[in-house]
Amino acid sequence: MKGITHFVSGLAVATFFPKAVCMASRGGIVEGAESSFILVLGALYGIMPDTLDFKFGQFFSLPDYDIDCDPIHPDPQKMAESMGKAMEEAFEKDKLVKVQLYPMQLGSDLWRQYVIKFDGENNEVVIILNEIVSTSQVPFEGTAPKENRVGRYKLKSGKMLETHGRPSAVDIMSGPQFGFQKFGEHVLVEFLPWHRTWSHSYVLGFFLSLPVFAITYFFNLTNWYLYGLIAFLGFATHITEDLSGHMGGSLLWPFIKKRYNGFCLARASDPRLNFSVIYLSVTIILFNIDRFTVNVIPLPWYKYYFFFFVIPIILFLIFAEIFGVKTQIKEGLIGVDEILKQARVSNAAAIDELNSEEESIIE
């Protein structure tokens, strides 16, 4: 999910503690009010896992191989072979092999987009060169290569096991990193092997909340234990929300380092999911702040959530379906299967032509 979604969710969880809400209130409104920052602490810890990943973790994930293709004369076949051989090395040597991809920059505002597809059915790595795009990712029609557009490499050892669920497009600024490792008789493909690993652990969240417990206890703050508890719950809420997607997390790192897959209920970038969670969080925040302080909302909780969450969110989802609000897919990814189909037909025709020429020579 988006950072703002995790931020608001962490804040919402913090509001379930009556003492915390009173402490965060302005002085004189309710008993125990002291204008505390305690609710914001839950929000800050709510975005901490991704902050650790993108601001620190990714820079310590050093690749074993770099694929930085010549943007003027790109060779998709060579790129596919490099990826495939890295996968074979991971399988044969039973170790984690990481490959870093880089964008093809043609100018200050021009980039050549390319797509990586892990074809588990055919056990192939496929690289497809697409159109030139601007930095705003707008493609220029007619700029796709006329020939030498598709590169393939069929694995000679190990069966590909891809968990990302879709092709990956590389265009502007930076490229993704893939990790390959042996998993039984398969080669497991991990998208962004540095993401949602150690940083997305309930154990780490507990240890990161310990300094909060210690500092608030040292300064003898009122209800000092609530600060650390809310910090941990904000962190844990982020990890739990991420389980709704595909990637999941290393939930018990460092005791268990495996990155567990999510439940694949939705994609993290889905605007419908992010809006729904943010709206629910805001609804919870308003209700909890009211019931623990001034208590001016006259409705019981079930009527409040029915009128202010259930009905509005149903209307939103209906309008989202009517007007096509959904996860945006890059144009270069939409036609991948058709491009591959055309390439297979072209290759088959070329093979038939070679066979007919060979037969005519023999005759």
CA dist., res. 321 & res. 126, Å (int) = 33
The β-bridge partners of 100 are 66, 177
Going by DSSP bridges, is the β-strand pair 97-101/65-67 parallel, antiparallel, or unpaired?
Answer: parallel
Identify which of 288, 304, 300, 301 has the alpha carbon closest to the alpha carbon of residue 19.
Answer: 288
pTM of the model: 0.86
pLDDT band with cut points at 50, 70 and 90 for residue 38: very high
> Exposed/middle/buried for 42, CB within 10 Å: 0-12, 13-18, 19+?
buried
CA dist., res. 6 & res. 42, Å (int) = 10
In this predicted model, what pLDDT tens digit does every residue of 177-231 receive, in sequence order? Answer: 999 999 999 999 999 999 999 999 999 999 999 999 999 999 999 999 999 999 9
In this predicted model, what pLDDT tens digit does every residue of 253-289 receive, in sequence order? Answer: 999 998 888 888 888 888 999 999 999 999 999 999 9
In this predicted model, what pLDDT tens digit does every residue of 334-350 receive, in sequence order? Answer: 566 666 555 554 444 43
pLDDT at residue 128 greater than cutoff 60: yes
77 touches 138 (CB < 8 A)? no
CA dist., res. 207 & res. 216, Å (int) = 15
Least confident of 106-110, 156-160, 326-330: 326-330
Q: Which are the contacts of 281, defined by CB distance < 8 A and separation ≥ 6? A: 5, 8, 9, 11, 12
Alpha helices, DSSP H, located in the chain: 3-14, 18-24, 38-46, 48-55, 76-93, 202-218, 224-242, 271-291, 301-305, 311-322, 331-334, 336-362
Looking at residue 317, its pLDDT comes to: 94
The first and second tokens of residue 35, run together, are: 């204008």
Mean pLDDT of 51-80: 94
